[in-house]
Structures are given as C-alpha cells and as structure tokens.
C-alpha cells in the first residue's frame, strides 16, 4: 500500500514504553487521525514495539515507526521515520547512529519506506533534548535557517519542530513553515485539546499529539480535525 504523508494533517504518537488499554487504542485508531506513529525517547525496546504494532494492526490506520533506538527496529511498519537532530550537541544523533544502522540494515532496507526527518528540538527540558544534548536556545531566525537547511541542503521531506511536553511558539513554527517549498513541517509538543490543535494546525502542515493521550483521552480525541468532536479541518 502506498502511503502519502503529504496528506497527513494529524498524527497520534504512541509511546511503546507507556500503557494503553484496548478500548483507548481502538478509539484513537478509529478517530479519523491520518496516522499513528510509534516512538519515544527512552524505554523503547524491540518487544514493547512489536507488541504495540501488533495491537495497532487490528485497524487500518497507517502506522509508522519513528526510530529512536537501533535495537528496536521492528519489521512490519508502513513507514520508518528517521530523526536527524540538526541542533544536536552530539553528532551521534546527526549521523553516528544512522551510520551504524545503515551499515547493519543497508542491504535489506526498503528505501521507499524511509522518511528522513530534519529534527529541531526547541524545548530544552524534554527527554529528547537531554539525550541528544540539543542546543535549544533558538530564535525564529534560527528555526528558519534549520528548516531551510533541512529542505534545501539535505533535501529532507519532513522538518520536525519538537517542543515535546510543552506548547511552543507558534510564530516561530509559522515562520519555519512559511520558509519551506515542498517539505512538510511537522509540529509536536503540548497539544492538549482542540484549541491548541487549532492554533498548531494554523502554523504547521502536520500536528503530532503525544502525551495528552495518556493524560486525558477525550481531550486527545478532540484534537482530530476529522473527528466529530474535533477541531474544524483547516485548509
Ligand atoms: C529489518 C528491518 C525492519 C529493516 C528496516 C531497516 C531500517 C528502517 C533501518 C533504519 C536505519 C536507520 C538510519 C536508523 C536510525 C537509527 C537511529 C537510532 C537514529 C537516531 C534517532 C534519534 C536522533 C533519536 C533521538 C531521540 C529522538 C529525536 C526521538 C524522537 C522521538 C521523540 C522525541 C519522542 C518523544 O519522546 P517522549 O518519550 O515522549 O519524551 P517526553 O518524555 O519528552 O514526553
Ligand atoms: O507529547 P507531546 O508534548 O504531545 O509532543 C508530541 C511529540 O512531538 C513528541 O515527540
Ligand atoms: Mg512523551
């Protein structure tokens, strides 16, 4: 099945290291979201990733793995998102892990399933910032420069502005998105209900909703534009 991420406006990100019951998973997968992404910064293992994938596969929603741990690369996802943290302090998170993984998996990789993400981490307090040693003191001009680098220098199809755990500066996100030609701007961080989903969807091409799933499922479901309870779909 060919999956076109250019149609994605809303994505739920599920963390294999966190518990979710069958009924909640069903409501998420049938919500009208465009895709479910599996990923997290810590505690992601092969076993908990296989387990979550097999449960999501009871539904038709596209399912992507965002790889954060080279030991948890599980076959059977529709797509594999590969973060390249452009503002990482440690180059291992820009090319190091990737080099080792491609050395191991290169011959068996289906490149059409691979979606490289130019990742820019802006919240210095999140786990991903700590793990990667990200330089998160960025103003909107810095974000625009990273977005342009990601698209024009490195030809990434996705630029991901990551505020994981906190709602970000929508002007910064808007400016980064406006600087792009064809690449897609994914925004994630602190979307905890319909109002923030609406604001983020005005700024970014694709919004990603994570933590609120585990804190308040009803509010998470309100963030889906296609859901009857969700925000109005934005152009
Ligand atoms: C057999 C088979 C399936 C073959 C497939 C081959 C294949 C797909 C190979 C992949 C090759 C490849 C290049 C892999 C990359 C390897 C790798 C480990 C790259 C590093 C990724 C990276 C930079 C991770 C850093 C952390 C990060 C940016 C994570 C993204 C997700 C994220 C931020 C989630 C939020 O985390 P959360 O836990 O929710 O955090 P909070 O506590 O803040 O909420
Ligand atoms: O968990 P939240 O804060 O919703 O962020 C979503 C996603 O960007 C995390 O990688
Ligand atoms: Mg999280």
pLDDT digits (tens, 9 = 90+) for 47-105: 999 999 999 999 999 999 999 999 999 999 999 999 999 999 999 999 999 999 999 99
* CA dihedral for 118, 80, 227, 9, sign (positive or negative): positive
Q: What is the pTM of this model?
A: 0.96
Please list all protein residues whose beta carbon sits less than 5 angstroms from ligand 3, which is an ion: 210-211
Residue 118 CB–ligand 1 contact under 6 Å: no
Neighbours of 37 (CB within 10 A): 23
Q: What is the pLDDT of residue 226?
A: 72
With CA atoms as reference, report the closest residue to 235 among 184, 208, 185, 198. Answer: 198
Atom of ligand 1 nearest to the CA of 80: 8
Q: Establish if 233 belongs to a structural domain.
A: no
Split the chain (235 residues) into runs of 10 and give each run's mean pLDDT. 93 98 98 98 97 98 97 97 98 97 95 98 97 97 98 98 98 98 98 98 98 98 81 47
What percent of the chain lies above the pLDDT cut of 70?
A: 96
Distances in Å between the alpha carbon of 209 and those of 17, 120, 129, 180?
16, 17, 18, 22
According to the annotation, is 15 in a ligand binding site? yes
CATH number at residue 180: 3.20.20.390
Q: Establish if 145 belongs to a structural domain.
A: yes
Q: Which two tokens stand for residue 104?
A: 């191991």
Q: Establish if 232 belongs to a structural domain.
A: no
Give ipTM to 2 decimals.
0.94
According to the annotation, is 164 in a ligand binding site? yes
Q: Establish if 231 belongs to a structural domain.
A: no
Question: Within 6 Å (CB) of ligand 2, which residues are found?
Answer: 13, 162, 164-165, 188-191, 208-212
Distance (Å, whole) CA 125 – CA 41: 13
The residue whose CA has the least distance to atom 33 of ligand 1 is 128
Atom of ligand 1 nearest to the CA of 65: 8
The residue whose CA has the least distance to atom 5 of ligand 1 is 109
Residues with Cβ within 8 Å of 176's Cβ and at least 6 positions away in sequence, in order, are 120, 140, 143, 144, 146, 147, 159, 161, 185
According to the annotation, is 168 in a ligand binding site? no
Q: Establish if 191 belongs to a structural domain.
A: yes
Atom of ligand 2 nearest to the CA of 165: 3
Q: Establish if 212 belongs to a structural domain.
A: yes
Domain containing 190 equals 5-222
167 CA distance to ligand 3 centroid (A)? 13
The residue whose CA has the least distance to atom 37 of ligand 1 is 40
Count of domains observed in the chain: 1
Distances in Å between the alpha carbon of 130 and those of 38, 41, 119, 164, 231?
20, 10, 14, 12, 33
Distance (Å, whole) CA 137 – CA 219: 30
Top mutation candidate among 13, 36, 129, 186 for ligand 2, by most atoms within 8 Å of CB: 13
Q: Establish if 199 belongs to a structural domain.
A: yes
Q: What is the pLDDT of residue 228?
A: 64
Atom of ligand 1 nearest to the CA of 74: 3
Q: What is the pLDDT of residue 210?
A: 98
Q: Establish if 94 belongs to a structural domain.
A: yes
Q: Which two tokens stand for residue 187?
A: 């925004």
Residue 75 CB–ligand 1 contact under 6 Å: yes
Distance (Å, whole) CA 158 – CA 185: 6
């Amino acid at each position: 099945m060919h999956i076109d991420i250019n149609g994605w406006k809303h994505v739920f990100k599920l963390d294999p290291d966190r518990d979710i019951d069958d009924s909640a998973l069903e409501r998420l997968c049938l919500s009208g979201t465009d895709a479910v992404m599996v990923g997290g910064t810590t505690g992601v293992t092969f076993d908990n990733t296989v387990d979550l994938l097999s449960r999501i596969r009871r539904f038709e929603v596209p399912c992507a793995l965002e790889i954060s741990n080279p030991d948890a690369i599980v076959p059977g996802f529709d797509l594999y998102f590969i973060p390249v943290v452009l503002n990482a302090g440690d180059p291992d998170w820009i090319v190091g892990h990737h080099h080792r993984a491609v050395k191991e998996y290169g011959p068996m990789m289906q490149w059409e399933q691979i979606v490289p993400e130019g990742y820019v981490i802006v919240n210095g307090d999140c786990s991903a910032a700590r793990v990667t040693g990200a330089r998160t003191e960025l103003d909107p001009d810095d974000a625009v420069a990273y977005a342009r680098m990601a698209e024009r220098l490195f030809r990434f199809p996705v630029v991901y502005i990551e505020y994981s755990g906190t709602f970000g500066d929508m002007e910064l996100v808007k400016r980064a998105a406006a600087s792009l030609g064809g690449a897609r701007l994914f925004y994630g961080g602190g979307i905890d209900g319909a109002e923030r989903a609406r604001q983020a969807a005005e700024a970014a091409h694709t919004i990603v909703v994570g933590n609120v799933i585990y804190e308040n499922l009803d509010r998470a479901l309100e963030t889906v534009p296609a859901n009857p309870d969700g925000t109005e779909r934005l152009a």
